[in-house]
Amino acid sequence: MKDFAGKICFVTGGASGAGLGQAKVFGREGMKVAIADIRQDALDNAVEELIAFGIKREDILAIRLDLTNREEYTAAANKVEDVFGGPPHLLIQTAGVNSFGPVEASTFEDFDWVIGVCMQHVINGLVIFVPRMIKAYAHKTEFHVATTSSMGGFFPCPGCGPYGAAKAAVDNLMYSYDAALIPYGSGATVLCPGNINSNIGNAEKYRPEKLKNTGYHVSEGTMMHLRSVHAGGIDPVELGEILKEAIENQRVIALPDHDYDNHAATLHAMFEGIADLALTRELRQVKAAERAAKQVKNPDKHGPQKWEVPEGAEPFGQARKDLDWIDESKRK
């Protein structure tokens, strides 16, 4: 997909962070932009920010939406068609949440919340929108589906297991949809960033009440710490430009680096670590030491190696102190 002007774009999580950056990038290309988010105040602010960025108000549609609710999502899809005259030519599913803690401390609610937003909402959008997109645009005009995943989908995430599992599943879904959409003249892209300057550090504030039971130590202090980390991440508009290049050039995987020609080599280096999981633990340790000695370059240049921890912040990624099966060093 190379011609964006006059077409329709739908972005989940579009009220802040990576989603808002994507709305800005594709709105600047002349697309009509629908942004979906669960926070009405954030949507209101995003509309004003998009207008200040140069996008016409009449080309912006803000929809308050619980993306895990299929009835609400279907109603949102109908609204896009009513307002803009058809389904999106470009579907970008970016909304996500995360919480950190030892995977062995995770509750059902930790899994249900993170997987519900990070994976189930993607499934909902694909099932609701893709048939409409095929019927409206197959072999008539360009259309494309994209999802914002994470580098965490490529390797073990013992400190955020539900998130890593959701992102790995989303990656595979997008590989599958790309192959499936080729006969219709379309394709799919999965964007896999590392650290983004986004609102995800505040995600626990928006966890539904019925899913509040967590095995992780969560506090205003841990969220403050996470906000300081994410503040050093890649700029959302810059990340949106990387996604745009990937879509234009039919890349199925896009990484957070403008060195596009090195993306395949980066993935090969990461997948070596996955291949090593077939080895014995002793051999894995040897291979890990060998890789560390080579000092393989981290493709995500935008995540800070060091950051200042604000006063009052607490370490994140620990279990609740009352969980008696957790190693003492992992408990708060």
Residues 6+ apart with CB under 8 A from 319: 101, 102, 105, 215, 216, 217, 326, 330, 331, 332
Between CA 153 and CA 169 the distance in angstroms is: 8
Between CA 156 and CA 133 the distance in angstroms is: 35
Residue 289, token pair as written in the block: 């030491």
3-state DSSP call for residue 180? helix
| pLDDT tens for each residue of 132-183 | 999 999 999 999 999 999 999 999 999 999 999 999 999 999 999 999 999 9
Between CA 144 and CA 91 the distance in angstroms is: 7
Residues 6+ apart with CB under 8 A from 327: 102
Q: What is the pTM of this model?
A: 0.93
Q: What's 261's DSSP letter?
A: G
Place of tokens 């921890």: 309
Neighbouring-strand partners of residue 196: 234
- Nearest Cα neighbor of 216 from 97, 329, 107 is 107
CATH code assigned to 8-258: 3.40.50.720
| pLDDT tens for each residue of 81-102 | 999 999 999 999 999 999 999 9
Question: Per the residue annotation, which of 73, 137, 163, 216 is the catalytic one?
Answer: 163
| pLDDT tens for each residue of 291-314 | 777 754 544 554 444 567 788 899
Domain ranges, ordered by start, for the chain: 8-258, 261-296
**216 assigned to active site:** no
pLDDT value of position 258: 83
First to last CA, the chain: 49
pLDDT value of position 295: 57
Residues found in the chain: 332
pLDDT value of position 262: 83
The answer to whether 35 touches 15, Cβ cutoff 8 Å, is yes
